[in-house]
Amino acid sequence: MTSRNEARARMLRDLYAAYIDQRKDIVDAMLMEDFTFSSPQDDHIDRATYFERCWPNEPALTGFDIEFLAVDGEEAVVRYRAETTSGKAFRNMESFRFDGEKISSVDVYFGRNTG
């Protein structure tokens, strides 16, 4: 993995940690101004809407276990298992695109509950 790919992999690990730590400021600095987010529930929403919908006031998750992370130039894929505050768990995949040193978009693909 090249040093740029390694830096992007570290950035993504830091992103998931910041979500658990409720550090919106850290994630905010990682995203392009014209960042977009898509999932089965969100169709290409902008940065402001992403923070409104995806950053709850109360923590919803207790942790991420990154099972797979690959970076190839301007793109990356992450598969993770997440645990909720209610004790449930699920697995998702996320596809990232970079523009320079920042994240320009994320597409989330929902997985299944893992028990």
Q: In the beta sheet, which residues pair with residue 69?
A: 78
Residue numbers of the domain that contains 27: 3-113
Residue 32, pLDDT above cutoff 70: yes
Whether 83 shows a pLDDT value over 80: the answer reads yes
Q: Tell me the DSSP string of 3-27.
A: HHHHHHHHHHHHHHHHHHTT-HHHH
Distance, in Å, from the CA atom of 42 to the CA atom of 22, rounded to the nearest integer, reads: 21
Please report, as a single letter, which amino acid is at residue 1: M
Alpha carbon distance 90, 99 (integer Å): 29
Q: Provide the domain count of the chain.
A: 1
CB contact at 8 A, 70 and 55: no
Residue 107 confidence (pLDDT) above 70 = yes
pTM of the model: 0.92
- We report the CATH number of the domain holding residue 13 as 3.10.450.50
Tokens of 10: 């570290």
